[in-house]
Amino acid sequence: MSEPLTHRHWAALAVPKVAPVIGTSTVLILGRIWNANGAEHSAGNAALMVALAAGAATAGAFAAAGHGGGDGVLAGTAFATAGALALAGVAGYADGWSLPILLWSVATAVAYGIAARYWRTDRRDATAHHRQTEVRREGHAHVERVEALRAGAQIEAARTGAAYAEQLATALITRAALPSYDPQAITRAGLPELPSAEKQLK
C-alpha cells in the first residue's frame, strides 16, 4: 500500500514542475502542424493570431491594472494565453524551425519564471499551515497532559480520603470493643464526648 501512495505523491510533485514545458511544447507542435496544413506565410492567419494575442494581452493588462476586481490569476491566464497565441502564430507562419524554437525557449523560460513565483507562495503557505497545525497540536497535547495530571491528583485525593475514612472507622470500632472503654469517664473528666462508632459510621 505504501508504494502506490509514494508514486502518487511523487506524481503530484512532478506534474506541476513539467506543466509549463508541456504547455509550450504542445503549442509549438500544434503551430507546426498548422504550418504544414497551409498556414505558412499566410497573412490572414498571421493577422488573426496577432489580433487574438493582442486581445488576450489587453485583457491581461486590464486585469492587472485592477479592472474586474484585480484578479491576479485572471491576469496571469490572459497573459499566458497571449503568449501561447503568439507562439502558435509564429510557429504556423514561419517557414523554418529557428524562430519557432527560439520563441518556444523564451516562452518556456517566462512560464517557469511565473510558475516559480506561485510555487514559492504555495510553499510558504504550506509551511505556515504546517507550523500552525503543529502549534495547535502541541497546545492540545499540553491541555491533555494538564487534565490527566489533574484527574490523577483527584483520584489520588479520593483514594487517600477513602483510606483515612476506613482507618477511622476501624479505630472507632476497635475502641468501642475494648472491655475497659468507658465513654462516660471522658465526659466526667471535662472533655467533650466523642461520637460513638455508630454515629461515625453514619
Q: What is the pLDDT of residues 36-82, one digit of tens each?
A: 888 787 888 888 888 988 888 888 888 777 755 556 777 778 888 88
Q: How far apart are CA 41 and CA 94, in angstroms?
A: 7
**Residue 34: other Cβ atoms inside 10 A:** 19
Q: Let me know if residue 72 belongs to a domain.
A: yes
Which residues neighbour 39 within 8 Å (Cβ) at sequence distance 6 or greater?
A: 31, 45, 92, 93
Tell whether 107 is covered by a domain: yes
d(CA 132, CA 138): 10
Measure the CA–CA gap between 28 and 91, rounded to whole angstroms: 6
| pLDDT, tens only, 104-128 | 888 888 888 888 887 888 888 888 9
Number of domains into which the chain is organized: 1
Residue 35's pLDDT is 86
Interatomic CA distance for residues 193 and 71, integer angstroms: 89
pLDDT value for 1: 44
Which residue has cell 511565473?
114
Q: Are 36 and 100 in contact (CB under 8 A)?
A: no
| Across 77-102, average pLDDT | 85
As given in the structure block, the three cell numbers for residue 8 are 502518487
Higher pLDDT, residue 8 or 59: 59
Specify which of 86-90, 153-157, 170-174 reaches the highest per-range mean pLDDT. 153-157
27 in a domain, yes or no? yes
Does some domain include residue 24? yes
Which of 15-19, 37-41, 45-49, 197-201 is least confident?
Answer: 197-201
User: Span 19-37, mean pLDDT?
Assistant: 87
Return the pLDDT at 155. Answer: 92
| pLDDT class of 9 with cuts at 50, 70, 90 | low
pLDDT for residue 24: 86
Domain of residue 112, residue span: 18-135
Spatial neighbors of 67 by CB under 8 A, at least 6 apart, are: none
Assign 3-state DSSP to the chain and report helix, strand, coil percentages, each to 5: 90, 0, 10
Q: How many residues does the chain have?
A: 202
Reduce the secondary structure of 124-136 to three states and give it as a string.
HHHHHHHHHHHHH
Does residue 178 lie within any of the structural domains? Answer: no
Residue 35 lies in a domain: yes
- Domain membership of residue 108 (yes or no) is yes
